[in-house]
Amino acid sequence: LALPGVQQLSPYVPGKPVDELARELGLPVADIVKLASNENPLGPSPAALDAIQAALPELTRYPDGNGFKLKQALSAHYRVGTDMLVLGNGSNDILELVARAFVSPRDEVLFSAHAFAVYPLVTQAIGARPVVVPAREWGHDLTAMADAITPATKLIFIANPNNPTGTWVERDELDAFLARVPEQVLVVLDEAYTEYVTDADFPDGLDYLRKYPNVLVSRTFSKAYGLAALRIGFAVCQPVIADVLNRVRQPFNANSLALAAATAALSDREYLEVSRTVNQQGMAQMEAGLRHLGLSWIPSRGNFIAVDLGREAGPVYQALLHAGVIVRPVAGYGMPQHLRVSIGLAEENQRFLLALEQVLAGE
């Protein structure tokens, strides 16, 4: 029978698939708008699609288990040694590897309230103790998090920006926090959305690696790089940590199509720039639309926004589904009055805003 921590787990709830809703509503798939999983609405970079095509004839072979080419590309791009890189089957894989390799049952794992759902999941799965630190204005309270460190603390997760709130921590807050963390405590800076951030002085986790050898930065190709389906992410950390993670990971955890696509995507800077611009414009459109509806939201640095409905969000989520619009309820994150909406293309955002207006007017 399952470990006690595992028995208490709730499964991760993914966004409702488009084809499932289309079938339920008897609508063509093209009529459904999905703004539920923080995906890049532009689709993948054409360079990534070409690389996938080129890799198809090799499907019968195992992938390069060391991800040589992608690591070379990441190493050149981020100016870190290839021995500081670990590839993952999505960055979720990295988060799990860290917990599995470094945390024993009874150790404490610290993270914020309203933080990414996979932190409690990987903590409880190994029988460790999750310590949830109350948030400040929905975001990480790094002072409270540093205060919550005990001799049993082994690992701290910080998502910057955080999902599902979109909140972020500033450079001086992070500086002060890291200075207070004992060196035997590992700090994961989960930067899944960092490519969307445009603020010049936003902290870059990679800048902390030299000063704090206990920091690991986790990144992904699922968001701004538009490759969520392929499951490819990576960690950047000191070689001693990377070595441990490379020992515990599955031998072929990053697949061939993902390796090829990610390598190509990394070099397509124009696509990334367009993705950022589309997101910025979409965010402005979303904020203007919500303001028009008299709603408030949590300011976000990601490619999504948590909208405060001022009432239970579940029924609004259901009514939006009936209108063919899929967003994400976040009651499971302790946010029963919010809906998380990904920023889509202009017409998708418009569909959502119109549907929301109609749903709210109909009540």
**Residues at the interface with ligand PMP (CB under 6 A):** 38, 90-92, 116, 159, 163, 190, 192, 220, 222, 228, 233
Toward ligand PMP, which CB reaches closer, 163 or 263?
163
Q: Which is nearer to ligand PMP, 139 or 289 (CB)?
A: 139
Whether residue 174 contacts residue 142, with contact meaning beta carbons closer than 8 Å, is answered with: yes
How far apart CA 97 and CA 119 sit, in angstroms, is 12
Phi, psi (degrees; rounded to nearest 5) at 119: -65, -55
Q: Closest CB to ligand PMP belongs to which residue?
A: 90
CA distances to 17, 86, 102, 161, 302 from 83, rounded to whole Å, are: 38, 8, 18, 26, 29
Q: How far is the CB of 251 from ligand PMP (least distance, A)?
A: 19
Q: What is the dihedral of CA 283, 342, 97, 76, to 10 degrees?
A: -40
Degrees to nearest 5, angle at CA 196 with 155 and 121: 30
The Cα–Cα gap between 79 and 340 comes to 35
115: Cα separation from own chain's centroid: 10
Question: What string of DSSP letters covers 219-267?
Answer: EESSSTT--GGG--EEEE--HHHHHHHHHHS-TT-S-HHHHHHHHHHHH
Q: Which residue number, 220 or 300, has a Cβ lying nearer to ligand PMP?
A: 220
Return d(Cα 77, Cα 53) in angstroms, integer. 24
What is the C-alpha end-to-end distance of the chain, expressed in Å?
A: 46
Q: Report, in Å, the least distance between residue 359 CB and ligand PMP.
A: 25
Smallest distance, ligand PMP to C-beta of residue 261, A: 13
Neighbours of 296 (CB within 10 A): 12
- In terms of CB distance, is 116 or 333 closer to ligand PMP? 116
CB of 67 to ligand PMP, least distance (A): 15
Closer to ligand PMP at the Cβ: 227 or 353?
227
196 or 208, CB closer to ligand PMP? 196
Task: Please state, in angstroms and rounded to a whole number, the distance separating the CA atoms of residues 276 and 198.
Answer: 8
State the nearest-atom distance from the C-beta of 191 to ligand PMP, in Å: 8
Task: Output 38 or 112, the one with its CB closest to ligand PMP.
Answer: 38
Nearest to 12 by CA among 126, 121, 86, 141: 121
Residue number with CB closer to ligand PMP (145 or 159):
159
71: three-class secondary structure by DSSP: helix
CB-wise, 232 or 242, nearer to ligand PMP?
Answer: 232
CA 332 distance to own-chain centroid: 16
Collapsing DSSP states into helix, strand and coil, what is residue 78?
helix
Least distance between ligand PMP and beta carbon 37 (Å): 7
> How far apart are CB 167 and ligand PMP at their closest, in Å?
11
Cβ 344 to ligand PMP shortest distance, Å: 16
* Minimum CB–partner distance for residue 197 and ligand PMP (Å): 13
Nearer to ligand PMP, 103 or 353 (CB): 103
Side-chain half-sphere CA neighbours of 324 within 13 A: 16
Task: Kindly state the smallest distance separating residue 304's Cβ from ligand PMP, in Å.
Answer: 9
Query: What are 358's two structure tokens?
Result: 């109609």
